[in-house]
Amino acid sequence: ISIFVTQPIQMPLELTFLERHPLGSQAFMPLHGERFVVVVAPAGDVIDPAQVRAFITDGRQGVNYRAGTWHAIQSVLEREGEFLVVDRGGAGHNCDEHPLAVQVTLE
């Protein structure tokens, strides 16, 4: 369990990669009502850009990424954000990155 601090992003969001954690899930809960962008793609060895989905939370929602789910790093909208993070610890490689050029535009 840790605290993660992130700076606000501008839209449209330009992503150059997604990441996944093959050995366990990863949960993020905003601590101060921060709205943030969730970007995900189905688990697998290849990311199909047509399968990438994005959502904006209402600031009172957390997210738990299932093991192997591709996702973007936490991206808060209006102000610096603090998240309570529950992540798998221990031995073994638990973070893969996949290059991907995608622009996220949400309305």
Looking at residue 90, its pLDDT comes to 65
Looking at residue 101, its pLDDT comes to 78
Phi, psi of 62 (to 5 degrees): -105, 180
* pLDDT, tens only, 37-73: 999 999 999 898 899 999 999 999 999 999 999 999 8
Q: What average pLDDT does range 77-105 have in this prediction? A: 86
Total structural domains within the chain: 1
Residue 97, CB half-sphere, CA atoms under 13 Å: how many? Answer: 8
Under a CB-based contact definition with an 8 Å cutoff, are residues 12 and 89 in contact?
no
Residue 44 is part of a domain; what is its CATH number? 2.60.120.480
Q: What is the pTM of this model?
A: 0.89
Looking at residue 102, its pLDDT comes to 76
Under a CB-based contact definition with an 8 Å cutoff, are residues 24 and 47 in contact?
no
Domain housing 77: 2-104
Round to whole Å and give the CA distance between 33 and 59: 4
